[in-house]
C-alpha cells in the first residue's frame, strides 16, 4: 500500500504521465501528495491553430481531474526534441526541486524509452533522485522492449478518470494513440499479468522501504 507519500511525476512533455499511468495517479492521489514537473510546452510541435503554451493550460485541467494541486505543478521551457543539449540545466532543476519537496517516490520514463527527451529525463532523473524509490512508466509507442515488473491494479473508475484527464488535451487529438479503447486494452493486458481486471505496469528501477 502506498499511503502518506510524496510522489513526483517527471513529464518530459505534458500528458506523458497521464498516458502512461493516469490510472495509478488517480488511485494514489486519494492518499498521497502528488507533484508534477513538466519540462517543455512543445510549442513547435503543436498542431496549427493552437496558441503557444496550450499544453500547459491543458495540463492544469488534467491535473484538476487527477487531484493534483495547482501549486504542486512546476513547468519549464526547454525546447522539445532538444533536451540532450540541456542535460545539465535539467539536472540542476531536478536537484533544486528534490531539495524543495523531498519526494519519496519518483515516476519517470522507463530506461528503454527511445525518445531523446524522455531518455534525458530518465538518465538525469536517476542521478537527481537516486535516494528515492524510482518507477519507470510505460509509453508503448516509444518502446522496443519494456520490463513490466511492477504493477498497480486499477478499478474501472480509475480508468475512467485516466481517460478524462487524457481528454483534457484537446490539442493532441491528432495522436494515433489517443484512444480510449487502446488504453483499456492495455490495462486489461497488464491486469491479466497479475490476476486483475485492469492494471498499469512500470519498470521497477529502485525501491526503498
Residue pLDDT, tens place only, 100-112:
999 999 999 999 9
Contact 48, 151 (CB under 8 A): no
Phi, psi at 56, each rounded to 5°: -75, -30
Which tens digit of pLDDT belongs to each residue from 10-32? 999 999 999 999 999 999 999 99
Predicted confidence (pLDDT) at residue 80 exceeds the cutoff of 90? yes
Does the predicted model carry a pTM greater than 0.85? yes
Q: Does residue 114 fall inside a structural domain? A: yes
CATH number, domain at 147?
Answer: 3.40.50.10320
Phi, psi at 152, each rounded to 5°: -120, 115
Predicted confidence (pLDDT) at residue 71 exceeds the cutoff of 80? yes
Which tens digit of pLDDT belongs to each residue from 155-173? 999 999 999 999 999 999 9
Q: How confident is the model at residue 1 (pLDDT cuts 50, 70, 90)?
A: confident
Cell of 122: 530518465
Q: Does residue 58 fall inside a structural domain? A: yes
Predicted confidence (pLDDT) at residue 34 exceeds the cutoff of 80? yes
Q: What is the residue range of 109's domain?
A: 6-206
Q: Does residue 127 fall inside a structural domain? A: yes
Contact 36, 74 (CB under 8 A): yes
d(CA 68, CA 36): 8
Predicted confidence (pLDDT) at residue 190 exceeds the cutoff of 80? yes
How many domains does one find in the chain?
Answer: 1
Predicted confidence (pLDDT) at residue 9 exceeds the cutoff of 90? yes
- Indicate the helix (H) or strand (E) that contains 134: strand 133-137
Q: Does residue 195 fall inside a structural domain? A: yes
Q: Does residue 167 fall inside a structural domain? A: yes
Q: Does residue 56 fall inside a structural domain? A: yes
Q: Does residue 1 fall inside a structural domain? A: no
Question: In the sheet where 33-38 sits, what is the strand order?
Answer: 73-75, 33-38, 6-11, 105-109, 133-137, 198-206, 150-154
Q: Does residue 47 fall inside a structural domain? A: yes
d(CA 135, CA 38): 17
Which tens digit of pLDDT belongs to each residue from 56-70? 999 999 999 999 999
d(CA 74, CA 64): 14
Amino acid at each position: 500500500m502506498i499511503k502518506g507519500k510524496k510522489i513526483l511525476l517527471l513529464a518530459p512533455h505534458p500528458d506523458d504521465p497521464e498516458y502512461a499511468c493516469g490510472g495509478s495517479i488517480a488511485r494514489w492521489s486519494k492518499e498521497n501528495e502528488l507533484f508534477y514537473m513538466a519540462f517543455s510546452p512543445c510549442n513547435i510541435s503543436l498542431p496549427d491553430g493552437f496558441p503557444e503554451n496550450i499544453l500547459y493550460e491543458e495540463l492544469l485541467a488534467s491535473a484538476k481531474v487527477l487531484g493534483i494541486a495547482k501549486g504542486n505543478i512546476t513547468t519549464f521551457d526547454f525546447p522539445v526534441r532538444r533536451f540532450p543539449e540541456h542535460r545539465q540545466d535539467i539536472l540542476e532543476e531536478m536537484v533544486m526541486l528534490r531539495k524543495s519537496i523531498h519526494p519519496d517516490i519518483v515516476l519517470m520514463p522507463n530506461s528503454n524509452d527511445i525518445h531523446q527527451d524522455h531518455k534525458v529525463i530518465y538518465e538525469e532523473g536517476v542521478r537527481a533522485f537516486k535516494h528515492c524509490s524510482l518507477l519507470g512508466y510505460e509509453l508503448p509507442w516509444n518502446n522496443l522492449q519494456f520490463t513490466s515488473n511492477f504493477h498497480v491494479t486499477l478499478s474501472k473508475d480509475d480508468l475512467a478518470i485516466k481517460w478524462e484527464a487524457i481528454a483534457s488535451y484537446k490539442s493532441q487529438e491528432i495522436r494515433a494513440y489517443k484512444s480510449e479503447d487502446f488504453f483499456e486494452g492495455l490495462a486489461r493486458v497488464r491486469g491479466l499479468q497479475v490476476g486483475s481486471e485492469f492494471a498499469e505496469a512500470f519498470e521497477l528501477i529502485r525501491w526503498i522501504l
